A and B are shown apart, each in its own frame.
Chain A
Amino acid sequence: MKIEDKLFLDRFRVEEESHLKITDADKCKQCEDQPCLNLCPANVYRLEDGCIMVNYEGCLECGSCRIACPKLNIDWNYPRGGFGISHKFG
Protein backbone atom coordinates (compact mmCIF):
# COMPACT_ATOMS: atom_id res chain seq x y z
CA MET A 1 0.00 0.00 0.00
CA LYS A 2 1.46 3.34 -1.04
CA ILE A 3 1.66 6.32 1.27
CA GLU A 4 -0.82 8.26 -0.88
CA ASP A 5 -3.37 5.47 -0.35
CA LYS A 6 -2.71 5.38 3.37
CA LEU A 7 -3.35 9.12 3.68
CA PHE A 8 -6.48 8.71 1.59
CA LEU A 9 -7.96 6.71 4.51
CA ASP A 10 -7.66 9.66 6.90
CA ARG A 11 -10.00 12.54 7.49
CA PHE A 12 -8.44 15.99 7.08
CA ARG A 13 -9.89 19.44 7.34
CA VAL A 14 -7.32 21.41 5.41
CA GLU A 15 -6.43 24.96 6.38
CA GLU A 16 -5.82 27.52 3.66
CA GLU A 17 -2.45 28.48 5.02
CA SER A 18 0.29 25.98 5.84
CA HIS A 19 1.13 25.37 9.50
CA LEU A 20 4.62 24.26 8.37
CA LYS A 21 7.07 26.68 6.81
CA ILE A 22 10.67 26.38 5.74
CA THR A 23 12.37 29.33 7.39
CA ASP A 24 15.26 29.68 4.94
CA ALA A 25 15.19 27.76 1.63
CA ASP A 26 18.93 28.30 1.14
CA LYS A 27 19.68 26.32 4.28
CA CYS A 28 17.96 23.30 2.72
CA LYS A 29 20.32 23.48 -0.23
CA GLN A 30 23.25 23.19 2.17
CA CYS A 31 21.59 20.44 4.18
CA GLU A 32 23.55 17.28 3.49
CA ASP A 33 21.21 14.48 4.55
CA GLN A 34 17.86 16.24 4.16
CA PRO A 35 16.28 13.90 6.74
CA CYS A 36 12.84 15.51 6.37
CA LEU A 37 12.52 13.74 3.01
CA ASN A 38 12.70 10.31 4.62
CA LEU A 39 11.50 10.41 8.20
CA CYS A 40 8.20 12.21 7.70
CA PRO A 41 5.51 9.51 8.04
CA ALA A 42 3.24 11.39 5.63
CA ASN A 43 5.82 12.17 2.92
CA VAL A 44 5.04 15.87 3.35
CA TYR A 45 8.50 17.02 2.22
CA ARG A 46 9.43 16.35 -1.39
CA LEU A 47 12.26 17.48 -3.57
CA GLU A 48 11.20 19.27 -6.74
CA ASP A 49 13.81 20.91 -8.98
CA GLY A 50 16.25 20.96 -6.08
CA CYS A 51 13.78 22.72 -3.77
CA ILE A 52 11.98 21.28 -0.77
CA MET A 53 8.21 21.40 -1.28
CA VAL A 54 5.92 21.18 1.74
CA ASN A 55 2.69 19.26 1.09
CA TYR A 56 1.28 20.21 4.48
CA GLU A 57 -2.23 18.95 3.65
CA GLY A 58 -1.36 15.36 4.62
CA CYS A 59 0.60 16.20 7.79
CA LEU A 60 -0.11 13.78 10.65
CA GLU A 61 1.08 16.37 13.19
CA CYS A 62 3.69 14.17 14.87
CA GLY A 63 6.31 16.91 15.25
CA SER A 64 9.23 14.83 13.96
CA CYS A 65 10.37 17.14 11.16
CA ARG A 66 10.70 20.05 13.58
CA ILE A 67 13.14 18.42 15.97
CA ALA A 68 14.94 16.18 13.47
CA CYS A 69 15.80 18.99 11.03
CA PRO A 70 19.53 19.45 11.69
CA LYS A 71 19.28 23.18 10.98
CA LEU A 72 16.05 23.67 12.95
CA ASN A 73 14.81 25.27 9.75
CA ILE A 74 11.12 24.43 10.05
CA ASP A 75 8.71 26.92 11.58
CA TRP A 76 6.29 24.36 12.99
CA ASN A 77 2.92 25.15 14.49
CA TYR A 78 -0.20 23.24 15.32
CA PRO A 79 -2.93 23.83 12.73
CA ARG A 80 -5.69 26.18 13.83
CA GLY A 81 -8.10 24.56 16.34
CA GLY A 82 -10.29 21.90 14.71
CA PHE A 83 -8.21 21.82 11.50
CA GLY A 84 -5.73 19.21 10.32
CA ILE A 85 -6.26 15.51 10.90
CA SER A 86 -9.21 14.12 12.88
CA HIS A 87 -8.74 10.51 13.95
CA LYS A 88 -11.76 8.27 13.51
CA PHE A 89 -10.41 5.36 15.58
CA GLY A 90 -7.12 6.61 17.03
Chain B
Amino acid sequence: MNETFDVAIVGAGPAGISAAITLANAGIKTVVVERGEYPGAKNMSGGVLYGHDLGQILPDFTKIPGFPIERNIIESRIWYLSKEAGISVGYRDSIFAGERKQNVFTVGRAKFDRWYADQARKKGALIVPATVVLDLIRENGRVTGVQTGRADGDIHAKVVLIADGVNSRLAVTAGFRPDVKPEHVALAVKEVIELAPEIIDQRFGVSDGNGVTTEILGAVAGGMDGVGVLYTNKASISLALGANLADFSKTKLKPYDLIETFKKHPMVAPLIAGGKSLEYTAHWLPEGGYDTMPKLYGDGYLIAGDSAMLFNAPHREGSNLAMLSGKMAADTIIEAMKTGDFSAKSLSAYNTKLSESKILQDMKKYRGFGGFLYDHKEIFETMPEIVQFGGRELLTVNAESKKTKQDKIIKKLRKDMGIPRFVRLMWSGFRAVK
Protein backbone atom coordinates (compact mmCIF):
# COMPACT_ATOMS: atom_id res chain seq x y z
CA MET B 1 0.00 0.00 0.00
CA ASN B 2 2.39 2.69 -1.16
CA GLU B 3 -0.09 5.46 -0.67
CA THR B 4 -0.02 8.98 0.73
CA PHE B 5 -2.37 10.27 3.38
CA ASP B 6 -2.68 13.52 5.26
CA VAL B 7 -2.58 11.71 8.58
CA ALA B 8 -1.48 8.19 9.58
CA ILE B 9 -2.64 7.00 12.98
CA VAL B 10 -1.06 4.04 14.77
CA GLY B 11 -3.58 2.16 16.92
CA ALA B 12 -7.38 1.88 16.78
CA GLY B 13 -7.99 2.37 20.51
CA PRO B 14 -9.97 5.24 22.03
CA ALA B 15 -7.16 7.74 21.32
CA GLY B 16 -6.59 6.80 17.68
CA ILE B 17 -10.26 6.46 16.77
CA SER B 18 -11.24 9.73 18.46
CA ALA B 19 -8.60 11.47 16.39
CA ALA B 20 -9.75 9.68 13.22
CA ILE B 21 -13.39 10.72 13.72
CA THR B 22 -12.40 14.34 14.34
CA LEU B 23 -10.11 14.41 11.28
CA ALA B 24 -12.57 12.64 8.99
CA ASN B 25 -15.27 15.10 10.05
CA ALA B 26 -12.98 17.88 8.81
CA GLY B 27 -12.52 16.06 5.47
CA ILE B 28 -8.88 15.16 6.13
CA LYS B 29 -7.54 12.01 4.46
CA THR B 30 -6.82 9.69 7.37
CA VAL B 31 -5.65 6.09 7.78
CA VAL B 32 -5.64 4.11 11.03
CA VAL B 33 -3.36 1.06 11.27
CA GLU B 34 -4.27 -1.54 13.90
CA ARG B 35 -2.37 -4.73 14.72
CA GLY B 36 -5.42 -6.65 16.01
CA GLU B 37 -7.60 -8.82 13.79
CA TYR B 38 -10.21 -6.08 14.34
CA PRO B 39 -10.18 -2.89 16.46
CA GLY B 40 -10.54 -3.94 20.10
CA ALA B 41 -9.09 -7.43 19.55
CA LYS B 42 -6.05 -6.58 21.69
CA ASN B 43 -7.70 -4.22 24.13
CA MET B 44 -8.94 -4.68 27.66
CA SER B 45 -10.02 -2.44 30.50
CA GLY B 46 -12.44 -2.47 33.41
CA GLY B 47 -14.82 -1.14 30.77
CA VAL B 48 -16.03 2.11 32.35
CA LEU B 49 -16.57 4.97 29.90
CA TYR B 50 -17.64 8.56 30.43
CA GLY B 51 -20.52 10.01 28.43
CA HIS B 52 -19.46 13.63 28.64
CA ASP B 53 -16.06 13.00 27.13
CA LEU B 54 -17.28 10.59 24.45
CA GLY B 55 -19.90 13.23 23.58
CA GLN B 56 -17.10 15.68 22.73
CA ILE B 57 -16.20 13.44 19.81
CA LEU B 58 -19.55 11.83 18.96
CA PRO B 59 -22.46 13.97 20.12
CA ASP B 60 -25.67 11.90 20.39
CA PHE B 61 -23.66 8.68 20.57
CA THR B 62 -26.53 6.92 22.37
CA LYS B 63 -28.72 7.32 19.30
CA ILE B 64 -26.25 5.69 16.90
CA PRO B 65 -27.41 2.16 16.00
CA GLY B 66 -25.55 -0.62 17.74
CA PHE B 67 -24.16 1.59 20.54
CA PRO B 68 -22.64 -1.24 22.60
CA ILE B 69 -23.47 -0.15 26.15
CA GLU B 70 -23.48 -2.87 28.81
CA ARG B 71 -25.00 -1.06 31.80
CA ASN B 72 -25.64 2.53 32.86
CA ILE B 73 -23.92 3.09 36.21
CA ILE B 74 -26.06 4.52 39.01
CA GLU B 75 -23.94 3.53 41.99
CA SER B 76 -20.21 3.61 42.72
CA ARG B 77 -18.87 1.52 45.56
CA ILE B 78 -15.47 1.53 47.17
CA TRP B 79 -14.29 -1.41 49.23
CA TYR B 80 -11.31 -1.62 51.51
CA LEU B 81 -10.49 -5.26 52.10
CA SER B 82 -8.42 -7.32 54.46
CA LYS B 83 -7.86 -10.97 53.68
CA GLU B 84 -11.14 -12.11 55.23
CA ALA B 85 -13.20 -8.97 55.72
CA GLY B 86 -13.97 -5.59 54.22
CA ILE B 87 -15.48 -2.13 54.51
CA SER B 88 -17.93 -0.98 51.85
CA VAL B 89 -18.99 2.58 51.01
CA GLY B 90 -21.34 3.34 48.17
CA TYR B 91 -23.03 6.29 46.55
CA ARG B 92 -26.22 5.77 44.56
CA ASP B 93 -28.15 8.63 42.99
CA SER B 94 -31.38 8.58 40.95
CA ILE B 95 -30.04 11.47 38.86
CA PHE B 96 -27.77 8.94 37.12
CA ALA B 97 -30.76 6.84 36.10
CA GLY B 98 -32.59 9.89 34.73
CA GLU B 99 -31.31 13.29 33.76
CA ARG B 100 -27.60 12.29 33.86
CA LYS B 101 -27.98 8.88 32.29
CA GLN B 102 -24.80 7.64 30.59
CA ASN B 103 -22.64 9.88 32.77
CA VAL B 104 -20.75 6.66 33.45
CA PHE B 105 -21.46 3.34 31.72
CA THR B 106 -19.75 0.02 31.08
CA VAL B 107 -18.69 -1.57 27.79
CA GLY B 108 -16.66 -4.53 26.60
CA ARG B 109 -13.70 -3.09 24.76
CA ALA B 110 -13.67 -5.69 21.99
CA LYS B 111 -17.20 -4.63 21.03
CA PHE B 112 -16.91 -0.93 21.80
CA ASP B 113 -13.65 -0.28 19.96
CA ARG B 114 -15.00 -2.09 16.91
CA TRP B 115 -18.20 -0.04 16.91
CA TYR B 116 -16.24 3.16 17.53
CA ALA B 117 -13.92 2.41 14.60
CA ASP B 118 -17.00 1.82 12.42
CA GLN B 119 -18.10 5.39 13.16
CA ALA B 120 -14.72 6.66 11.93
CA ARG B 121 -15.02 4.50 8.82
CA LYS B 122 -18.52 5.84 8.09
CA LYS B 123 -17.12 9.35 8.18
CA GLY B 124 -14.46 8.44 5.64
CA ALA B 125 -11.37 7.31 7.55
CA LEU B 126 -9.62 4.18 6.29
CA ILE B 127 -9.15 1.54 9.00
CA VAL B 128 -6.49 -1.09 8.24
CA PRO B 129 -6.61 -3.95 10.79
CA ALA B 130 -4.34 -7.00 11.16
CA THR B 131 -1.30 -4.83 10.39
CA VAL B 132 1.56 -4.04 12.74
CA VAL B 133 3.43 -0.76 12.41
CA LEU B 134 7.10 -1.68 12.78
CA ASP B 135 8.79 1.68 12.54
CA LEU B 136 8.40 5.28 11.52
CA ILE B 137 9.62 6.59 8.19
CA ARG B 138 11.83 9.64 8.58
CA GLU B 139 13.23 12.10 6.11
CA ASN B 140 15.68 14.79 7.20
CA GLY B 141 14.86 14.16 10.83
CA ARG B 142 11.11 14.52 10.46
CA VAL B 143 8.50 11.80 10.59
CA THR B 144 6.85 11.31 7.20
CA GLY B 145 5.02 8.02 7.54
CA VAL B 146 4.96 4.52 8.94
CA GLN B 147 6.50 1.25 7.88
CA THR B 148 4.15 -1.71 8.35
CA GLY B 149 4.64 -5.47 8.42
CA ARG B 150 2.93 -5.95 5.06
CA ALA B 151 4.66 -6.31 1.74
CA ASP B 152 4.82 -2.84 0.13
CA GLY B 153 3.60 -1.66 3.48
CA ASP B 154 4.98 1.88 3.64
CA ILE B 155 2.37 4.53 4.30
CA HIS B 156 3.38 8.15 3.75
CA ALA B 157 1.67 10.97 5.58
CA LYS B 158 2.12 14.63 6.40
CA VAL B 159 1.87 13.83 10.07
CA VAL B 160 1.75 10.66 12.22
CA LEU B 161 -0.26 10.23 15.40
CA ILE B 162 1.20 7.60 17.72
CA ALA B 163 -1.74 6.13 19.67
CA ASP B 164 -0.46 2.60 20.17
CA GLY B 165 -1.18 2.28 23.88
CA VAL B 166 0.87 1.80 27.02
CA ASN B 167 3.14 -0.89 25.55
CA SER B 168 4.32 1.52 22.86
CA ARG B 169 7.05 -0.37 21.05
CA LEU B 170 7.00 2.30 18.41
CA ALA B 171 7.77 5.28 20.64
CA VAL B 172 10.61 3.25 22.13
CA THR B 173 12.00 2.08 18.77
CA ALA B 174 11.81 5.65 17.49
CA GLY B 175 13.69 6.90 20.55
CA PHE B 176 10.84 9.15 21.66
CA ARG B 177 10.85 7.59 25.09
CA PRO B 178 12.87 5.02 27.01
CA ASP B 179 11.27 1.60 27.47
CA VAL B 180 8.79 1.47 30.33
CA LYS B 181 10.18 0.66 33.77
CA PRO B 182 8.42 -2.10 35.76
CA GLU B 183 7.58 0.28 38.62
CA HIS B 184 5.73 2.61 36.22
CA VAL B 185 3.09 0.13 35.11
CA ALA B 186 0.61 -2.15 36.79
CA LEU B 187 0.02 -5.59 35.33
CA ALA B 188 -3.68 -6.42 35.44
CA VAL B 189 -5.52 -9.66 34.72
CA LYS B 190 -9.22 -9.83 34.08
CA GLU B 191 -11.95 -12.42 33.95
CA VAL B 192 -15.35 -11.87 32.40
CA ILE B 193 -17.83 -14.00 34.33
CA GLU B 194 -21.19 -14.82 32.77
CA LEU B 195 -24.38 -14.44 34.85
CA ALA B 196 -28.03 -14.06 33.86
CA PRO B 197 -29.14 -10.39 33.72
CA GLU B 198 -31.89 -11.05 36.31
CA ILE B 199 -29.36 -12.46 38.76
CA ILE B 200 -27.15 -9.41 38.34
CA ASP B 201 -30.21 -7.18 38.87
CA GLN B 202 -31.04 -9.03 42.09
CA ARG B 203 -27.54 -9.17 43.50
CA PHE B 204 -26.85 -5.50 42.93
CA GLY B 205 -30.37 -4.20 43.52
CA VAL B 206 -30.77 -2.65 40.07
CA SER B 207 -33.14 -2.87 37.09
CA ASP B 208 -33.77 -1.34 33.65
CA GLY B 209 -30.23 -1.74 32.36
CA ASN B 210 -28.65 0.03 35.32
CA GLY B 211 -25.58 -1.23 37.15
CA VAL B 212 -22.93 -0.74 39.81
CA THR B 213 -19.15 -0.29 39.82
CA THR B 214 -16.92 -1.36 42.71
CA GLU B 215 -13.32 -0.20 43.17
CA ILE B 216 -11.48 -2.51 45.52
CA LEU B 217 -8.51 -1.39 47.62
CA GLY B 218 -6.44 -2.83 50.43
CA ALA B 219 -5.14 -6.38 50.72
CA VAL B 220 -6.33 -7.49 47.28
CA ALA B 221 -3.03 -8.55 45.78
CA GLY B 222 -1.14 -10.41 48.48
CA GLY B 223 0.26 -7.23 50.05
CA MET B 224 1.46 -5.71 46.77
CA ASP B 225 0.59 -2.20 45.61
CA GLY B 226 -2.58 -3.35 43.85
CA VAL B 227 -6.26 -2.67 43.16
CA GLY B 228 -9.24 -4.65 42.00
CA VAL B 229 -12.45 -3.78 40.18
CA LEU B 230 -15.81 -5.50 39.93
CA TYR B 231 -18.10 -3.96 37.34
CA THR B 232 -21.52 -5.06 36.12
CA ASN B 233 -22.18 -5.73 32.44
CA LYS B 234 -25.48 -6.73 30.83
CA ALA B 235 -25.02 -10.47 31.34
CA SER B 236 -21.60 -10.70 32.96
CA ILE B 237 -19.31 -9.33 35.64
CA SER B 238 -15.91 -7.84 34.87
CA LEU B 239 -13.48 -8.84 37.60
CA ALA B 240 -9.96 -7.45 37.30
CA LEU B 241 -6.98 -7.32 39.57
CA GLY B 242 -3.75 -5.43 39.05
CA ALA B 243 -0.53 -4.70 40.88
CA ASN B 244 2.67 -2.85 40.27
CA LEU B 245 4.90 -4.90 37.97
CA ALA B 246 8.03 -4.29 40.08
CA ASP B 247 6.13 -5.76 43.04
CA PHE B 248 5.25 -8.84 41.00
CA SER B 249 8.96 -9.32 40.29
CA LYS B 250 9.87 -9.05 43.95
CA THR B 251 7.11 -11.12 45.52
CA LYS B 252 7.03 -13.95 42.97
CA LEU B 253 3.24 -14.01 43.23
CA LYS B 254 1.52 -15.36 40.15
CA PRO B 255 -1.23 -13.21 38.61
CA TYR B 256 -3.53 -16.17 37.87
CA ASP B 257 -3.24 -17.46 41.45
CA LEU B 258 -4.05 -14.02 42.83
CA ILE B 259 -7.25 -13.67 40.83
CA GLU B 260 -8.33 -17.13 42.01
CA THR B 261 -7.84 -16.06 45.66
CA PHE B 262 -9.65 -12.81 44.89
CA LYS B 263 -12.66 -14.72 43.52
CA LYS B 264 -12.94 -16.56 46.84
CA HIS B 265 -12.93 -13.44 49.04
CA PRO B 266 -16.13 -13.33 51.14
CA MET B 267 -17.12 -9.95 49.62
CA VAL B 268 -16.51 -11.10 46.02
CA ALA B 269 -17.61 -14.76 46.05
CA PRO B 270 -21.37 -14.27 46.58
CA LEU B 271 -21.56 -11.74 43.73
CA ILE B 272 -20.05 -14.09 41.15
CA ALA B 273 -21.42 -17.38 42.55
CA GLY B 274 -22.67 -19.74 39.84
CA GLY B 275 -21.03 -17.64 37.12
CA LYS B 276 -19.06 -19.11 34.26
CA SER B 277 -15.76 -17.57 33.16
CA LEU B 278 -15.87 -16.53 29.52
CA GLU B 279 -12.50 -14.92 28.96
CA TYR B 280 -9.15 -14.32 30.66
CA THR B 281 -6.95 -11.42 29.51
CA ALA B 282 -3.99 -9.32 30.66
CA HIS B 283 -2.90 -5.73 30.06
CA TRP B 284 -0.80 -2.96 31.56
CA LEU B 285 -2.01 0.28 33.09
CA PRO B 286 0.26 3.33 32.90
CA GLU B 287 0.76 4.27 36.53
CA GLY B 288 3.94 6.31 36.46
CA GLY B 289 1.96 9.55 36.19
CA TYR B 290 3.03 13.00 35.11
CA ASP B 291 6.75 12.50 35.67
CA THR B 292 6.93 9.57 33.26
CA MET B 293 5.22 11.33 30.34
CA PRO B 294 7.37 11.60 27.20
CA LYS B 295 7.54 14.71 25.03
CA LEU B 296 4.21 14.60 23.24
CA TYR B 297 5.11 16.12 19.86
CA GLY B 298 7.98 16.65 17.48
CA ASP B 299 8.67 17.22 13.78
CA GLY B 300 5.86 15.42 12.01
CA TYR B 301 4.41 13.47 14.93
CA LEU B 302 2.19 13.60 18.02
CA ILE B 303 1.60 11.09 20.85
CA ALA B 304 -1.80 10.56 22.53
CA GLY B 305 -3.51 8.36 25.11
CA ASP B 306 -1.80 5.57 27.03
CA SER B 307 1.34 5.79 24.91
CA ALA B 308 1.71 9.29 26.37
CA MET B 309 1.20 7.71 29.84
CA LEU B 310 -2.02 9.71 30.31
CA PHE B 311 -3.85 7.97 33.13
CA ASN B 312 -5.59 9.25 36.24
CA ALA B 313 -5.18 6.33 38.64
CA PRO B 314 -7.29 7.41 41.63
CA HIS B 315 -10.28 8.05 39.32
CA ARG B 316 -9.59 5.11 36.94
CA GLU B 317 -9.82 7.53 34.02
CA GLY B 318 -7.76 6.43 31.05
CA SER B 319 -10.02 5.82 28.07
CA ASN B 320 -11.53 9.29 28.33
CA LEU B 321 -8.11 10.95 28.58
CA ALA B 322 -7.19 8.91 25.52
CA MET B 323 -10.30 10.14 23.68
CA LEU B 324 -9.79 13.78 24.62
CA SER B 325 -6.06 13.79 23.86
CA GLY B 326 -6.81 12.12 20.51
CA LYS B 327 -9.29 14.85 19.73
CA MET B 328 -6.86 17.59 20.76
CA ALA B 329 -4.16 16.05 18.60
CA ALA B 330 -6.64 16.04 15.69
CA ASP B 331 -7.64 19.66 16.32
CA THR B 332 -3.95 20.61 16.30
CA ILE B 333 -3.48 18.81 12.98
CA ILE B 334 -6.54 20.49 11.48
CA GLU B 335 -5.04 23.89 12.34
CA ALA B 336 -1.63 22.89 10.99
CA MET B 337 -3.22 21.76 7.69
CA LYS B 338 -4.11 25.40 7.01
CA THR B 339 -0.48 26.47 6.91
CA GLY B 340 1.00 23.11 5.91
CA ASP B 341 3.50 23.46 8.74
CA PHE B 342 3.93 20.20 10.68
CA SER B 343 7.12 21.15 12.49
CA ALA B 344 7.50 20.64 16.23
CA LYS B 345 6.97 24.36 16.70
CA SER B 346 3.63 24.30 14.91
CA LEU B 347 2.50 21.08 16.63
CA SER B 348 3.39 22.45 20.09
CA ALA B 349 -0.14 23.89 20.09
CA TYR B 350 -1.12 20.35 21.14
CA ASN B 351 0.75 20.76 24.41
CA THR B 352 -0.98 24.08 25.04
CA LYS B 353 -4.37 22.44 24.53
CA LEU B 354 -3.52 19.60 26.91
CA SER B 355 -2.20 22.04 29.54
CA GLU B 356 -5.34 24.13 29.42
CA SER B 357 -7.58 21.08 29.80
CA LYS B 358 -8.34 18.78 32.71
CA ILE B 359 -5.92 16.24 31.24
CA LEU B 360 -2.64 17.82 32.32
CA GLN B 361 -4.24 19.61 35.26
CA ASP B 362 -5.37 16.27 36.71
CA MET B 363 -2.10 14.56 35.79
CA LYS B 364 -0.27 17.26 37.77
CA LYS B 365 -2.68 17.12 40.69
CA TYR B 366 -2.08 13.40 41.17
CA ARG B 367 1.61 13.54 40.30
CA GLY B 368 2.62 12.06 43.67
CA PHE B 369 -0.16 9.49 43.94
CA GLY B 370 1.57 6.47 42.36
CA GLY B 371 4.73 7.04 44.38
CA PHE B 372 2.71 7.48 47.55
CA LEU B 373 1.08 4.06 47.18
CA TYR B 374 4.28 2.40 46.11
CA ASP B 375 6.18 3.77 49.10
CA HIS B 376 3.48 2.95 51.66
CA LYS B 377 3.02 -0.79 51.52
CA GLU B 378 1.25 -0.66 54.92
CA ILE B 379 -1.90 0.40 53.01
CA PHE B 380 -1.97 -3.04 51.41
CA GLU B 381 -1.00 -5.20 54.35
CA THR B 382 -0.75 -3.78 57.88
CA MET B 383 -3.66 -1.33 57.66
CA PRO B 384 -6.18 -3.85 56.33
CA GLU B 385 -5.28 -6.16 59.21
CA ILE B 386 -5.75 -3.39 61.77
CA VAL B 387 -9.11 -2.55 60.18
CA GLN B 388 -10.16 -6.20 60.37
CA PHE B 389 -9.02 -6.41 63.99
CA GLY B 390 -10.95 -3.23 64.84
CA GLY B 391 -14.09 -4.34 63.01
CA ARG B 392 -14.09 -7.70 64.75
CA GLU B 393 -13.54 -6.11 68.18
CA LEU B 394 -16.24 -3.50 67.79
CA LEU B 395 -18.85 -5.76 66.29
CA THR B 396 -18.37 -8.83 68.47
CA VAL B 397 -20.69 -8.42 71.45
CA ASN B 398 -19.19 -10.07 74.52
CA ALA B 399 -18.44 -9.29 78.17
CA GLU B 400 -15.89 -6.55 77.40
CA SER B 401 -16.82 -2.89 77.73
CA LYS B 402 -16.58 -0.69 74.65
CA LYS B 403 -13.80 1.24 76.34
CA THR B 404 -11.74 -1.95 76.71
CA LYS B 405 -12.32 -2.73 73.04
CA GLN B 406 -11.30 0.76 72.01
CA ASP B 407 -8.09 0.49 74.04
CA LYS B 408 -7.30 -2.83 72.43
CA ILE B 409 -7.67 -1.35 68.96
CA ILE B 410 -5.42 1.61 69.79
CA LYS B 411 -2.87 -0.75 71.29
CA LYS B 412 -2.93 -2.82 68.10
CA LEU B 413 -2.44 0.31 65.98
CA ARG B 414 0.48 1.38 68.23
CA LYS B 415 2.12 -2.02 68.06
CA ASP B 416 1.67 -2.85 64.37
CA MET B 417 2.21 0.57 62.96
CA GLY B 418 2.88 3.29 65.52
CA ILE B 419 0.78 6.43 65.82
CA PRO B 420 3.40 8.79 64.28
CA ARG B 421 3.69 6.54 61.23
CA PHE B 422 -0.08 6.44 60.94
CA VAL B 423 -0.29 10.25 61.09
CA ARG B 424 2.53 10.57 58.54
CA LEU B 425 0.71 8.15 56.25
CA MET B 426 -2.49 10.19 56.41
CA TRP B 427 -0.55 13.40 55.84
CA SER B 428 1.42 12.18 52.83
CA GLY B 429 -1.75 10.64 51.44
CA PHE B 430 -3.47 13.98 51.68
CA ARG B 431 -0.51 15.76 50.06
CA ALA B 432 -0.43 13.24 47.20
CA VAL B 433 -3.95 14.13 46.07
CA LYS B 434 -4.52 17.69 47.30
Say whether B189 contacts A68, CB under 8 Å.
Answer: no
Known: A9-B279, A64-B187, A89-B109. 17 other contacts (CB 8 A): A10-B279, A41-B189, A41-B255, A42-B282, A63-B167, A64-B182, A64-B245, A68-B182, A81-B148, A82-B35, A84-B42, A86-B38, A87-B40, A88-B110, A89-B236, A90-B40, A90-B110
Say whether A87 contacts B179, CB under 8 Å.
Answer: no
B residues 244-288 with Cβ under 8 Å of A?
A: 245-246, 248-249, 252-256, 260, 277-284
A residues 35-90 with Cβ under 8 Å of B?
A: 35, 38-43, 60-64, 66-68, 70, 77-78, 80-82, 84-90
- Does B150 belong to the interface (CB within 8 Å)? yes
Which stretch of B53-61, B125-133, B360-368 is in the interface?
B125-133
Say whether B277 contacts A1, CB under 8 Å.
Answer: yes
Chain A residues positioned under 8 Å from B36 (CB to CB)? 82, 86
Nearest B residue (CB) for A59:
B282
Chain B residues positioned under 8 Å from A61 (CB to CB)? 42, 167, 282
9 pairs of A and B residues whose beta carbons are closest in the complex: A82-B130, A90-B109, A90-B110, A6-B280, A41-B282, A63-B167, A60-B282, A89-B108, A41-B255
Say whether A38 contacts B252, CB under 8 Å.
Answer: yes
- Does B388 belong to the interface (CB within 8 Å)? no
Say whether B189 contacts A64, CB under 8 Å.
Answer: no
Say whether A39 contacts B187, CB under 8 Å.
Answer: yes
Known: A6-B277, A38-B254. A87 touches B109 (CB 8 A): yes
Contact of B37 among A60, A67, A78, A86 (CB under 8 A): A86
Contact with A along B283-318 (1 / 0, CB 8 A): 110000000000000000000000000000000000
* A67 to B40 CA separation, bound complex (whole angstroms): 24
Say whether A10 contacts B281, CB under 8 Å.
Answer: yes
* B→A interface (CB under 8 Å): 35-38, 40-45, 47, 108-113, 129-132, 148-150, 167, 169, 179-182, 185, 187, 189, 191-192, 236, 245-246, 248-249, 252-256, 260, 277-284
Specify which of B150, B182, B281 lies most central, judged by the most chain A CB atoms within 10 Å of its CB. B281
Specify which of A7, A70, A81 lies most central, judged by the most chain B CB atoms within 10 Å of its CB. A81
Nearest B residue (CB) for A35:
B249
Say whether A33 contacts B280, CB under 8 Å.
Answer: no
- Does A13 belong to the interface (CB within 8 Å)? yes
Say whether A68 contacts B110, CB under 8 Å.
Answer: no
* A45 to B159 CA separation, bound complex (whole angstroms): 40
Main secondary structure of the interface of A (DSSP, over half): loop
A27 to chain B minimum Cβ distance, whole angstroms, is 16
Say whether B44 contacts A90, CB under 8 Å.
Answer: yes
Specify which of A3, A13, A77, A90 lies most central, judged by the most chain B CB atoms within 10 Å of its CB. A90
Chain B residues positioned under 8 Å from A85 (CB to CB)? 41-42, 281
Nearest A residue (CB) for B114:
A90
B242 to chain A minimum Cβ distance, whole angstroms, is 10
* A80 to B36 CA separation, bound complex (whole angstroms): 9
Say whether B284 contacts A68, CB under 8 Å.
Answer: no
Say whether B281 contacts A60, CB under 8 Å.
Answer: yes
Nearest B residue (CB) for A7:
B280
* A60 to B187 CA separation, bound complex (whole angstroms): 12
Chain B residues positioned under 8 Å from A7 (CB to CB)? 280
Specify which of B47, B130, B131, B150 lies most central, judged by the most chain A CB atoms within 10 Å of its CB. B130
Specify which of A42, A60, A82 lies most central, judged by the most chain B CB atoms within 10 Å of its CB. A82
Chain A residues positioned under 8 Å from B181 (CB to CB)? 67
Say whether A87 contacts B132, CB under 8 Å.
Answer: no
Say whether A81 contacts B281, CB under 8 Å.
Answer: no
Nearest B residue (CB) for A76:
B169
Nearest B residue (CB) for A60:
B282
Say whether B37 contacts A13, CB under 8 Å.
Answer: yes
Report 22 cross-chain contacts, Cβ distance below 8 Å, ordered by A residue: A9-B280, A33-B249, A38-B253, A39-B187, A41-B189, A64-B182, A64-B248, A64-B284, A66-B179, A68-B182, A78-B132, A80-B132, A81-B131, A81-B150, A84-B42, A87-B44, A87-B110, A88-B110, A89-B110, A89-B192, A90-B111, A90-B281
Chain A residues positioned under 8 Å from B189 (CB to CB)? 41
Chain B residues positioned under 8 Å from A1 (CB to CB)? 260, 277
Chain A residues positioned under 8 Å from B167 (CB to CB)? 61-63
* A68 to B148 CA separation, bound complex (whole angstroms): 27
Say whether B256 contacts A38, CB under 8 Å.
Answer: no
B277 to chain A minimum Cβ distance, whole angstroms, is 6
Say whether B38 contacts A88, CB under 8 Å.
Answer: no
Contact of A33 among B37, B109, B252, B260 (CB under 8 A): B252
Known: A87-B43, A90-B109. A81 touches B252 (CB 8 A): no
Say whether B132 contacts A90, CB under 8 Å.
Answer: no
Chain B residues positioned under 8 Å from A60 (CB to CB)? 280-283
Say whether A88 contacts B279, CB under 8 Å.
Answer: yes
